[in-house]
Structure 1
Amino acid sequence: MNADFDTYRLSDEHEALREAVRALAEKEIAPYAAEVDEQGRYPVEARDALVKAGFHAITIPEEYGGEGADELAGCIVIEEVARACASSSLIPGVNGLGLTPILLSASHELKQQVLPSIASGEAMISYALSEREAGSDAASMKTRARRDGDEWVLNGTKCWITNAGESTWYTVMAVTDPEKKANGISAFVVHKDDPGFEVGPKERKLGINGSPTREIYFSDCRIPADRIIGAEGTGFKTALQTLDHTRPTIGAQAVGIAQGALDVAISYVKERKQFGKHLAEFQGLQFMIADMAMKVEAARQLVYVATSRAERGEANLGFISSAAKCMASDVAMSVTTDAVQLLGGAGYTKDFPVERMMRDAKITQIYEGTNQVQRLVMARALLR
């Protein structure tokens, strides 16, 4: 077996990026994380710091004013920001999600129209697929788009839209031909100033409180005809392709949250004493820490493999992308819960960040496809 093991390690550039993002997150993002959660306010400090450093949408190609980084770099940014503040990690995360359909399927002209404003940081982009009655079953969506001369007219409601109200652009899936079911869905780019577009009130949530989640409404919303992404009827295919690329980014967010909780737990057990000994000297707790770290590292490697394979455009990404998202989010939930346990009563208070991390971790098992759906995707890929 002659495997080239050198290809399986992060490049020096990736390691340098991690250091840079970690330093920025510790200095500019972590100090506001508790307050952002407590007040449920958008993390403007994080946004400004990420934009200034060029980390807010790192995968936009250079020809559109971006950094031109690979998808693994995008995951490292999300992971390191999530280690400090999960809400803030949704700035690069959701930009990536909203951008991916455009990068995959849009015309050069549409890319030119949308991407430079996001690359410069003057605009953000959100992604609108889900509806109240079309969550896991996205193909049953009701939002409609009909052609009217040089415009498309959109009608309907999308829900659970991350960073809605903060974003300028929205990548929206809508039905253009109801007869064709999934093959009658098309993708569009909507601007917040388009007539007939409106943003609803904020959801009250368990976690990620610094990232607003809202409904968005289209009432005879008119957009120019050239804002369709790819050909008519290809939207659902683009949406599924997008998830192959973005599910690992949710995995990266989950890994970051878990790593943040593990770091807090380790420093706590090294300092705190009971029965005249540091907690770190008790074997039962050592085993807990070892298990937590083992899971985090396994999840991280799976996320990196999945995102690298997506970057290379490999076939049959469904299994690996779902596996990375599913495993990493399950790990985040279990590791953050254990971190709260290790800190005991202190872990249950807001004086320490682990209870916030535990609440934030939960959503990673739900959005971009619940982990039950991920297991369905994996099983279908295996049994095809």
Structure 2
Amino acid sequence: MIHTLNSRVNPAAEEQTDLGIQLAFGATSRPVTDYREHVRKLIGERISPLIPASERERRFPREAVAALGSAGVFHERWSGGIHGDLGRAVVLAEEMGRAGLGGIGIGVGLHLEAATSLLRGFGSTAYAEEVLGQALAGDSVCCVATSEQHVGSDLSAVETSLTEEGDHWRVRGEKWFVSPGAAADFALVLCRGGQGPAIVVVPRAGLTPVQRWATTGMRSLETVRLRVDARVPDDAVLVRPGSGLAAAGQGLMYERLALAAQVLGALDLASVLAITHLKRRKQFGSPLYRHQALRLRMADLHSRILVARRGLYATVAEVSAGGGASASDAAALKVTVARLGERVTSECAHIFGGRGYVEDQTPLERLWRDLKVGRLGGGSDEMMWELVAAGFRPDHELYEAWVAT
């Protein structure tokens, strides 16, 4: 069941939480509440109506990128310093989640956060700058192609080749799970040159979708297996061989933060619907809300969502203030929120009883399917925990003081 209206949380509560993200907005930015209302209206009018056909046809709508780009949303997101305006990135992602955009929202996020961040951060040639301009204007759809058949999380093992051909380069290989691969005008391809991994901007002419994956959820994301065979100019080599992995990590950080924000937005939609259902639905002569077990279950879920959102806002505000960008922090947020997403949508669907398991009765079944990808996209749970664990530092002095040896 798909509607084109965004969920509306309690206005007073929304205003209070927006204070937490205001610090991440640029000094000359409009207030966060104004910006949120702006993107909410834009999504409701221009993008939400695209959901039914996109889900039915398993097609990513280029119109979504065009609508946001032409409205200046992408330019606003990447205005300012090295990280652009992270406050805008979070609010936009949240509102796409609240609108139940699913694969459309994730595709926009991959275009804006993963691909555009790499173009903006490493593009120093006229070719890259032209592609960046098209991406920000919404005239072109961009994606990032990293995974391969035998290469999942270990990106250092990519086999897609980058070889010199005179004054040009040849890129050859096959990428798996590329989103939104079939709709992309440009793919930022992680490949292997003589000195190690590199990233090359490959135009649509060199990209051939060879399989459209029939994914369980995120059906409008249009995830494909992509054959890459292109001869590109030297200007198209965005990141030189040997530096590709470090650059890809930067794009992944932005992708993970945006993914966490979009999941939290979707959880607002799910929880508001479930809470409202508890107060409207009567059984045995009284609303379901009168049953302590049900309302306490929702209180628990609401509390977890609140704490996760405050954690995301605090991290983004710290990064925006110059506190540094931590891959470990982004990984911790992403994995925690993704796992929370599965639990919340499952419980909210359960609150609706049989209707929660039927596609054309509530959006809960689709949200449940869609949010599973959060535990895989941008890195699996296990990879995220490895990044977190890599940041552990022992305190031997403290240990000696407290533990008998």
Q: TM-score, normalised by structure 1?
A: 0.88
Q: Please tell me whether the aligned partners of residues 161 and 213 of structure 1 are also in contact (alpha carbons under 8 angstroms).
A: yes
Cα distance change on mapping 1:35 and 1:199 into 2, 3 Å: closer
| Aligned-partner residue type, residue 85 of structure 2 | D
Q: Work out which of the residue numbers 172, 180, 200 in structure 2 matches 1:163.
A: 180
Query: Pairwise mapping of residues 109-188 of structure 1 onto structure 2 (< 5 A)?
Result: 109-177=126-194, 184-188=196-200
2:239 is aligned to: 230
CA distance in structure 2 between the partners assigned to 1:291 and 1:299 by the alignment: 12
Q: Please tell me whether the aligned partners of residues 75 and 248 of structure 1 are also in contact (alpha carbons under 8 angstroms).
A: yes
Q: Please tell me whether the aligned partners of residues 188 and 227 of structure 1 are also in contact (alpha carbons under 8 angstroms).
A: yes
Structure 2 alignment gaps of length 5 or more: 1-17, 395-405
CA distance in structure 1 between the partners assigned to 2:125 and 2:257 by the alignment: 26
Shift, 1:150, TM fit: 1.4
Q: Please tell me whether the aligned partners of residues 36 and 95 of structure 2 are also in contact (alpha carbons under 8 angstroms).
A: yes
CA distance in structure 2 between the partners assigned to 1:154 and 1:328 by the alignment: 36
Greater Cα shift, 371-380 or 85-94: 85-94
1:357 is aligned to: 367
Cα distance change on mapping 1:244 and 1:48 into 2, 3 Å: closer
| Aligned-partner residue type, residue 362 of structure 2 | F
Query: Pairwise mapping of residues 1-384 of structure 1 onto structure 2 (< 5 A)?
Result: 9-10=21-22, 13-43=31-61, 46-55=64-73, 58-61=76-79, 70-84=85-99, 85-95=101-111, 96-107=113-124, 109-177=126-194, 184-194=196-206, 197-219=207-229, 221-311=230-320, 314-315=323-324, 317-350=326-359, 351-383=361-393
Q: Please tell me whether the aligned partners of residues 303 and 328 of structure 1 are also in contact (alpha carbons under 8 angstroms).
A: no
Structure 1 alignment gaps of length 5 or more: 1-5
Cα deviation per residue 1:156-193 (whole Å; 9 max; x = unaligned)? 1111110112111111111002xx5xxx1111111112
CA distance in structure 1 between the partners assigned to 2:284 and 2:52 by the alignment: 32
Shift, 1:233, TM fit: 1.6
Shift, 1:46, TM fit: 3.8
> Matched residue of 1:170: which SS?
strand
2:401 is aligned to: none
> Matched residue of 1:130: which SS?
coil
Cα deviation per residue 1:227-265 (whole Å; 9 max; x = unaligned)? 111333211110112222321111112112211111211
Greater Cα shift, 121-130 or 33-42: 33-42
| Aligned-partner residue type, residue 78 of structure 1 | A
Shift, 1:120, TM fit: 1.8
CA distance in structure 1 between the partners assigned to 2:298 and 2:234 by the alignment: 55
> Matched residue of 1:382: which SS?
coil
Greater Cα shift, 340-349 or 33-42: 33-42
1:3 is aligned to: none
Shift, 1:81, TM fit: 0.8
Over aligned residue pairs, what C-alpha RMSD do you find? 2.4
> Matched residue of 2:172: which SS?
strand
CA distance in structure 2 between the partners assigned to 1:173 and 1:327 by the alignment: 27
Shift, 1:333, TM fit: 0.8
> Matched residue of 1:172: which SS?
strand
> Matched residue of 1:131: which SS?
coil
Cα distance change on mapping 1:118 and 1:45 into 2, 3 Å: closer
CA distance in structure 1 between the partners assigned to 2:278 and 2:47 by the alignment: 25
| Aligned-partner residue type, residue 51 of structure 2 | A
CA distance in structure 1 between the partners assigned to 2:348 and 2:48 by the alignment: 18
Q: Please tell me whether the aligned partners of residues 143 and 179 of structure 2 are also in contact (alpha carbons under 8 angstroms).
A: yes
Shift, 1:312, TM fit: 5.1
CA distance in structure 1 between the partners assigned to 2:376 and 2:235 by the alignment: 33
